Structure formats: structure tokens, C-alpha cells
Amino acid sequence: MRRVRDLRLAGLIAFVAALAVGLLVGLVVHLLLGGHLGWEDFDLPGLVEGLAFLLAFALSLFVAKRAVRVPCSTLLTAGVVAPLSARRVAQPVPVLENPAENPGRYAVLLEAGRPVGVIGLAPDIIPWEAAPVVPGEVAITELAPLFWQGEAVVVADGDVVHGLVTRERYLRTVVS
């Protein structure tokens, strides 16, 4: 699972690569059509050069998006706008020593201060090793495959439980 800073870096690299391809294609077209420098006239060679740049840049962005799998907003802003981390989206979840104390739908079961299971993801208690648990710095957009398996994902760093991201909260965050 990729972290937010990984997505920022991938978006920046993909944007710069697409820009370089667009500029290179624009330069080749410019040299093929006469190679005079400057914006003295609004003429056909200048329009063709600009159109070639736009087409090459847009096609390169499309190819780069498919290659690095980043959200459009991250790609188009060269990594300035990135998805939230799972820790920021996670809702607090009760952490219990006794499974009979469960006050809500979901809870994390502790034993000797360490998480050992998750209550509410299935009819039975799911062992911590089998539960969908992600680190807090993972980008929220990376959680989509985990929601094919269940309706919630636990966010934790080691023994520190940050909370839980439900499918509804995920969709609200990603769509808005």
C-alpha cells in the first residue's frame, strides 16, 4: 500500500515527464515547420506547434496516469493535491479488554495491551492477523481493494489503534 508522500512523488514525476514529452514534440514540430523563434505573428505554424504540444501533453498524462495509478487531482497538480491519509479519515473505535463490553457495532479487542482481534467485521471475532489492518500513513485511495473483502478497515500503527474506516466513510471522503 502506498503512502501519501509516495503518491505525491509519483504525481510530480508523471507530470514532469508528460510536460517534457509535450515540449519535445512541440520543439520537433517547431523545427520541422521552419524554426523561427518568437511570437511575432499569429500564424498557422504557431497554431500547429501549440496543438502538437497539447496533444502530446494530454496523451502523455493519460499514459502516465495509467502507469502510476494516481488520482487525477494529484497528477494534474504535480503532486500538490494528494489524497488524505487513512489516519485522518479513521473514526475512533472502542478498544476493549472484555468482548462482553462492546458498546457499539465495531470494537478492537485487547489482551495485555496488544490488539488481538476485531469485533463487528464478521459474526465472530476476527483475529488481529486476519483482520484488514493498514498503517496510518497509507493513502485513503489505496483502501479500495480492501472494501471488496469487507465493510471496514482498521487503521493502526503497531499496537496503537487509530480507528476504523467504513465503506460509507471511504466513499464520502473520496467522492467529495
User: Which pLDDT value is given to residue 40?
Assistant: 59
**Cell numbers representing residue 24 in the block:** 519535445
For 87-112, the pLDDT digits (tens) are 999 999 988 887 777 677 888 988 88
- Residue 122: per-residue pLDDT: 83
Confidence bin at 125 (pLDDT 50/70/90): confident
Query: For a pLDDT cut of 70, what percent of the chain falls above it?
Result: 95
Local confidence band at 156 (pLDDT 50, 70, 90 cut-offs) = very high
What mean pLDDT value characterizes the chain?
Answer: 88
36 or 109: whose pLDDT is higher? 109
Residue tagged 514532469 (cell numbers):
16
Residue 40 to residue 146: CA distance in whole angstroms: 57
Residue 104 C-alpha from the chain's centroid: 30
* pTM of this prediction exceeds 0.85: no
Average pLDDT over residues 37-64: 84
Q: Which residues contact 163 (CB under 8 A, 6 or more apart)?
A: 87, 90, 91, 92, 93, 154, 155
Q: Where in the chain is the domain with CATH 3.10.580.10?
A: 86-175
Whole-number pLDDT of residue 41: 65
How large is the average pLDDT for residues 21-37? 87
pLDDT for 11: 93
Domain 86-175 has CATH 3.10.580.10: yes
Q: In the predicted model, is pLDDT for residue 68 greater than 70?
A: yes
Q: What is the DSSP letter of 151?
A: S
